[in-house]
Chains A and B, each alone.
Chain A
Amino acid sequence: MADPAAGLLWRSWGDAHFAFDPRSGQTHFLNSVAVEVYHLLEGGGLEVGEIYQALLARYDIDDDEALQSAIETSLTVLDRLGIVMTSAA
């Protein structure tokens, strides 16, 4: 789930999104998939499969390997930035 303590500030221009983390003073550059994933996780803890299904529904598309891979990459990035909390399966 998204770390509720992060208190991120957002600015977006087109497909480029910037999140300012007041705890670290760092500004993160994120793509649209990462931002979608982050906002889904703001609603609470979700499994990777649940995120995938939610985004398939949002984009109204069938199975998409590229999307699945992008979600996994986004989760790794968001975790490394310290703005989501992960739990071991």
Chain B
Amino acid sequence: MRMSLRELPAAELGRRLDAGLKLRIGPFTVCIRGRDPLLADTLARHYPDYPLAAADSFSDARLTLRDQTWWARLLGRPREICLEDEVPFTDFPANALLAHIEWSLNWCIATRANQYLMLHGGVVARDEGAMILPGVPGAGKSTLTAYLMHRGWRLFSDEFTLLKTGTLDLQPFPRLIPLKNDSIEVIQAAVPEAQFGPQIPGTRKGRVSHLRPGADHLRRMDEGARPKLVVFPSYQAGSNTALKEMASAEAFAELTNNAFNYVLLGRLAFEMVAELTDAVRCFRLTYSDLNDANLQLQALLRSTAA
């Protein structure tokens, strides 16, 4: 059994962060460095169940929180995260560190992990198979994913659909889910047991709070699944739950527009999206009631897989 961050004594966490702490997040190894006590505290609070990777393992992404002098901290100067090239990638107030760790990692994966076809969409799974939830920002996919994760669906991701190239195998990449603005209160009300991080106001996406996936989701992050459904969600206040099956051509066109690296993978991506379209049923979901949406999606998955 691999050791998790939670089991690392505070002094050892500090020592590893000085040299480069390596965490396994889905199929990736992420190396995080920095001597700032805020970094150790943030990781210990919000990533406790992620497994540690071997110190000599290859790092798919490297994030460094730059050292700051005590007076810079006193003056409230922005913190900075650098990537491989040591050039500052993003700067931010101290209270937004968690959001910028996540966004920096997003950038690393979205621009480099081309061993996967990456669609912009959440993925959750049950025993019957997996459901992809593609959507533009604001469609409600993170909110729906966050709810489903607490109602018996296994979290793969709230925005990275990773398909191993040449296959239709979905790879879990369970991360903290960044809920924005009113979605925070929606999930707090619907899922009282949800474990939220601090609210971070004034980011470029508005007010953000990160929802932590439970340890069960992380323990199973090496277990892939086959897709059965593609559901394009659309949150519409006050609407009844409605599922409408899409024509394959329409779904194919939308999926090709939803990929991070479709053009880069070229022919392979075209063939994979076409195979995916043929292998699943595709729907548009309009919803406002999370519980009702969950029940209808469960029934749909059961009937599709039967």
Contact = CB atoms under 8 A, between A and B. Distances in A.
Interface in A20-35: 20, 22, 25-27, 29
B267 A20 contact: yes
Contact of B249 (A9, A13, A22, A25): A13
Interface residues of A, number: 12
Contacts of A18: 249, 252-253, 270, 274
B236 to A, nearest CB: 27
Contacts of A25: 263-264, 266
A80 interface: no
B16 to A, nearest CB: 42
A16 B256 contact: no
Contacts of B264: 25
B253 A14 contact: no
A34 to B, nearest CB: 14
Interface in B245-284: 247-250, 252-253, 256, 263-264, 266-267, 270-271, 274, 277
B191 to A, nearest CB: 38
A9 B247 contact: no
Contacts of A22: 266-267
Interface in A36-50: none
A11 B252 contact: yes
A41 to B, nearest CB: 22
B248 A13 contact: yes
A29 B193 CA distance: 47
Nearest to A19: B270
A29 B271 CA distance: 15
Contact of A20 (B249, B270, B277): B270
B247 A13 contact: yes
B270 A9 contact: yes
A13 B263 contact: no
Nearest to A24: B263
A26 B249 CA distance: 16
A47 to B, nearest CB: 31
Contact of B270 (A13, A14, A16, A27): A27
B267 A13 contact: no
A26 B271 CA distance: 13
A9 B271 contact: yes
A30 B228 CA distance: 27
Nearest to B275: A11
Contacts of B250: 16
A74 B253 CA distance: 20
Given A11-B274, A27-B256, A16 B267 contact: no
Contacts of B263: 25-26
B262 to A, nearest CB: 8
B266 A13 contact: no
B43 to A, nearest CB: 39
Contact of B253 (A20, A26, A29): A29
A29 B267 CA distance: 15
Interface of B: 247-250, 252-253, 256, 263-264, 266-267, 270-271, 274, 277
**Top 6 nearest A-B pairs by Cβ distance?**
A16-B249, A20-B270, A13-B248, A13-B249, A25-B263, A11-B274
18 contacts: A9-B267, A11-B252, A11-B270, A11-B274, A13-B249, A13-B252, A14-B247, A14-B248, A16-B247, A16-B249, A16-B250, A20-B266, A20-B270, A22-B267, A25-B264, A25-B266, A27-B256, A29-B253
Given A9-B267, A13-B249, A22-B267, 9 more contacts: A9-B270, A11-B252, A11-B270, A13-B277, A14-B249, A16-B247, A18-B249, A20-B266, A20-B270
